[in-house]
Structure 1
Amino acid sequence: MKRLRIRLNGTVQGVGFRPFVYRIAKELGLKGYVLNDSFGVEIEAEGKKELLDTFLKRLNEEKPPLARIYSQEIEFLEPLGYTDFEIRESKEEGKKEVLILPDIATCEDCLRELFDPKDRRYLYPFINCTNCGPRFTIIEKLPYDRPNTTMKVFDMCPNCRREYEDPLNRRFHAQPNACPVCGPWVSLYDREGNLIAEREEAIELLLEAIMEGKIVAVKGVGGFHLICDARKEESVRTLRERKRRQEKPFAVMFRDLKQVEEHAEPTELEKGLLISPERPIVLVKKRRELAPSVAPGLSRVGAFLPYSPLHHIILRRLGFPVVATSGNLSDEPIVKDNDEALEKLSQFADIILLHNREIRRRCDDSVVKVIGGIPTPIRRSRGYAPLPVRLPFKLPKKVLAVGGMLKNTFALGMGDRAILSQHIGDVENLTTLEAFEEAVFDLMELYEFEPEVIVCDLHPRYETTRWAEEFSQEKGIPLLKVQHHYAHVLSCMAENSIEGKVLGIAWDGTGYGEDGTLWGGEFLLCDYRSYERAFYFKPFRLIGGEKVVKEPRRVALSILFELFGEEGINIVLERLGEFSEREIINLYRSWERGINSPYSSSVGRLFDGVASLLGIRQVLSYEGQAAMMIEDLYDSGIKDSFPYEIEGSQINWAPIFLSLLEEENPKVAASKFINTLVRIALDVARRVGEERVCLSGGVMQNDPLVSKIRELLEENGFKVYTHQRVPPNDGGISLGQVVCSSEK
Structure 2
Amino acid sequence: MTSERRTRHIEVFGRVQGVGFRPYVHRTATALGLDGWVCNVDGHVRLTVSGHPDRLRELVARLREQPPPLAAVRRIDVTDAPGDRPPGRGFTVVASQADAVSSPAPREIPPDAAICGACLAELFDPADRRYRYPFINCTDCGPRATVIEDLPYDRERTTMRRFPLCPDCAAEYADPADRRFHAEPLACPVCGPRLAWGRLTGEDALQAAVRAVDGGGIVAVKGLGGYQLVCDATDASAVAVLRERKRRPAKPFAVMVADLPLARRLAHTGRAAEAVLASPQRPVVLLRARRRGGPLAPLVRPGTVRVGLFLPTTGLHHLLLRALDRPLVVTSGNLADEPIATDDDAARRALGAVADGFLTHDRPIRARYDDSVVQVGRGAVLLLRRARGYAPEPLASPVPAAEPLVGAGAQLKHTFALAEGDRVHLGAHTGDLADAATLDAFETSYADLTRLTGLAPRTVAHDPHPGYLSTQWARAGRFERCIAVQHHHAHVAAVAAEHAVTGPFVGVAYDGLGLGDDGTLWGGEILVADLAGYRRVGRFARAPLPGGEAAVRHPWRMALGYLHGLEPLGAPRPGPGLTRPFTDRLDARAAGVVRAMVERGVNCPPASSAGRLFDAAASLLGLGDTVSYEGQAAVALQSVAGGLRAGALPWRLARADGLWVYDPAPTLTALLEGLADGVPVPRLAAAFHTAVAEVTAALVERAVADGGPRTVCLGGGCFQNLRLLGEVSRLLRARGMRVLTGRAVPVNDGGISYGQAAVAAALLAREE
Instruction: Settle same-fold status: TM greater than 0.5.
Output: yes
The 1:71/1:251 distance shift into structure 2, 3 A limit, reads farther
- 1:460 is aligned with what amino acid? P
Q: Using the alignment, how far apart are the partners of 1:36 and 1:678 within structure 2?
A: 50
The equivalent position to 2:474 in structure 1, one of 460, 468, 475, is 468
The range that moved more, 328-337 or 413-422, is: 328-337
Alignment of 1:634-713 (within 5 A): 634=641, 636-648=643-655, 649=659, 650-664=661-675, 665-689=680-704, 690-713=709-732
Does the alignment pair 1:368 with 2:344?
no
Shift of 1:638: 2.5
The 1:444/1:11 distance shift into structure 2, 3 A limit, reads closer
The 1:372/1:484 distance shift into structure 2, 3 A limit, reads farther
Q: Using the alignment, how far apart are the partners of 1:566 and 1:283 within structure 2?
A: 38
The 1:123/1:244 distance shift into structure 2, 3 A limit, reads same
Shift of 1:625: 1.1
Does the alignment pair 1:531 with 2:534?
yes
The 1:243/1:39 distance shift into structure 2, 3 A limit, reads farther
Alignment of 1:399-418 (within 5 A): 399-418=405-424
The range that moved more, 537-546 or 127-136, is: 537-546
The equivalent position to 1:604 in structure 2, one of 605, 611, 632, is 611
Q: Using the alignment, how far apart are the partners of 1:574 and 1:629 within structure 2?
A: 20
1:16-38 Cα deviation digits (max 9, x unpaired):
9xxxxxxxxxxxxxxxxxx9979
For residue 27 of structure 1, what is the aligned residue in structure 2?
none
Shift of 1:70: 2.2
SS of the residue 1:610 aligns to: helix
SS of the residue 2:742 aligns to: coil
For residue 481 of structure 1, what is the aligned residue in structure 2?
484
For residue 101 of structure 1, what is the aligned residue in structure 2?
110
For residue 329 of structure 2, what is the aligned residue in structure 1?
323
The equivalent position to 2:596 in structure 1, one of 565, 589, 613, is 589
For residue 762 of structure 2, what is the aligned residue in structure 1?
743
1:106-165 Cα deviation digits (max 9, x unpaired):
111111111111111111111111111100000011111111100111110111111111
1:561-608 Cα deviation digits (max 9, x unpaired):
136999967755432435343433332221122111001000000000
The range that moved more, 479-488 or 313-322, is: 313-322
CA contact (8 A) 2:64 2:76 kept: no
CA contact (8 A) 2:332 2:340 kept: yes
CA contact (8 A) 1:103 1:136 kept: yes
Alignment of 1:188-587 (within 5 A): 188-189=197-198, 195=199, 197-287=200-290, 288-289=293-294, 290-470=296-476, 473=477, 475-562=478-565, 572-587=579-594
CA contact (8 A) 2:563 2:573 kept: no
Q: Using the alignment, how far apart are the partners of 2:457 and 2:394 within structure 1?
A: 17
For residue 630 of structure 2, what is the aligned residue in structure 1?
623
- 2:142 is aligned with what amino acid? G
For residue 46 of structure 2, what is the aligned residue in structure 1?
none
SS of the residue 1:391 aligns to: strand
The range that moved more, 233-242 or 484-493, is: 233-242
Does the alignment pair 1:727 with 2:732?
no
The range that moved more, 312-321 or 90-99, is: 90-99
The 1:476/1:464 distance shift into structure 2, 3 A limit, reads closer
The 1:515/1:320 distance shift into structure 2, 3 A limit, reads same
The 1:39/1:334 distance shift into structure 2, 3 A limit, reads farther
The range that moved more, 678-687 or 452-461, is: 678-687
SS of the residue 1:503 aligns to: strand
- 1:297 is aligned with what amino acid? G
CA contact (8 A) 1:219 1:355 kept: yes
- 1:284 is aligned with what amino acid? L
CA contact (8 A) 2:578 2:672 kept: no
Q: Using the alignment, how far apart are the partners of 1:451 and 1:662 within structure 2?
A: 56
Aligned length: 671
CA contact (8 A) 1:557 1:572 kept: no
Shift of 1:540: 1.4
Aligned CA RMSD, in angstroms, stands at 2.4
For residue 36 of structure 2, what is the aligned residue in structure 1?
none
SS of the residue 1:392 aligns to: strand
The range that moved more, 353-362 or 638-647, is: 638-647
The range that moved more, 97-106 or 591-600, is: 97-106
Q: Using the alignment, how far apart are the partners of 2:77 and 2:400 within structure 1?
A: 16
Q: Using the alignment, how far apart are the partners of 1:455 and 1:603 within structure 2?
A: 25
- 2:628 is aligned with what amino acid? S
Shift of 1:11: 6.6
Shift of 1:342: 2.1
Shift of 1:98: 4.3
Q: Using the alignment, how far apart are the partners of 1:729 and 1:286 within structure 2?
A: 23
- 2:584 is aligned with what amino acid? G
Shift of 1:626: 1.1
For residue 29 of structure 1, what is the aligned residue in structure 2?
none
Q: Using the alignment, how far apart are the partners of 1:570 and 1:544 within structure 2?
A: 26
Instruction: Give the share of equivalent positions with the same residue, in percent.
Output: 43
Shift of 1:636: 4.4
1:231-274 Cα deviation digits (max 9, x unpaired):
11011111111112111100000011111112222121111110
SS of the residue 2:593 aligns to: helix
The range that moved more, 594-603 or 334-343, is: 334-343
The equivalent position to 2:132 in structure 1, one of 123, 136, 139, is 123
Q: Using the alignment, how far apart are the partners of 2:457 and 2:489 within structure 1?
A: 22
Shift of 1:741: 0.7
TM-score by length of structure 1 reads 0.86
Q: Using the alignment, how far apart are the partners of 2:181 and 2:71 within structure 1?
A: 20
Q: Using the alignment, how far apart are the partners of 1:429 and 1:351 within structure 2?
A: 27
The 1:37/1:368 distance shift into structure 2, 3 A limit, reads farther
- 2:390 is aligned with what amino acid? Y
CA contact (8 A) 1:604 1:627 kept: yes
For residue 159 of structure 1, what is the aligned residue in structure 2?
168
CA contact (8 A) 2:20 2:182 kept: no
Shift of 1:345: 1.5
The 1:688/1:443 distance shift into structure 2, 3 A limit, reads same
1:679-710 Cα deviation digits (max 9, x unpaired):
11221222111210000000000111111111
Q: Using the alignment, how far apart are the partners of 2:268 and 2:479 within structure 1?
A: 54
SS of the residue 1:589 aligns to: helix
SS of the residue 2:125 aligns to: coil
Unaligned runs of 5+ in 1: 1-6, 17-34, 43-66, 74-89, 190-194
CA contact (8 A) 1:38 1:92 kept: no
- 1:147 is aligned with what amino acid? E
Q: Using the alignment, how far apart are the partners of 1:171 and 1:552 within structure 2?
A: 55
CA contact (8 A) 1:561 1:568 kept: no
CA contact (8 A) 1:373 1:707 kept: no
The 1:266/1:568 distance shift into structure 2, 3 A limit, reads same
The 1:239/1:582 distance shift into structure 2, 3 A limit, reads closer
Q: Using the alignment, how far apart are the partners of 1:162 and 1:101 within structure 2?
A: 25
CA contact (8 A) 2:303 2:635 kept: no
Higher gyration radius (CA): 2
Does the alignment pair 1:173 with 2:179?
no
Q: Using the alignment, how far apart are the partners of 1:680 and 1:210 within structure 2?
A: 50
CA contact (8 A) 1:286 1:301 kept: yes
